[in-house]
Amino acid sequence: MANNLHILILAAGKGTRMKSETPKVMHTLGGTPMIDHVIIKAKLLKPFKISIMINKSLSGIKKNIPIYKCFCRNLN
């Protein structure tokens, strides 16, 4: 049976409450960016597609995404 699951990861937050210039999703847990933890877990579900919504001002996040073969789209 084909898997028609499409996962949408919302990663548009700037993380201003963290009082850091680093976007929230790029902060590390155990040496790995938080966005990576989410993508790795999402891939375990074997979806046909993973999309990540980011804020246009956080486009620097995109350079980490290609290794996971996800589609990254700007929110604005």
Tell which CATH classification among 3.20.20.60, 3.30.160.20, 3.40.605.10, 3.90.550.10 matches the domain 6-74.
3.90.550.10
Question: Catalytic: which of 1, 16, 17, 29?
Answer: 17
**Active-site residue 73, yes or no?**
no
Per-residue DSSP letters for 62-75?
GGGGGGGT-EEEE-
Place of tokens 């001002």: 57
- Which residues are registered as beta bridge partners of 41? none
Model-level pTM? 0.76
pLDDT at 68: 58
Rounded average pLDDT per 10-residue block, the chain, 76 residues = 82 78 83 89 90 74 64 58
pLDDT at 45: 93
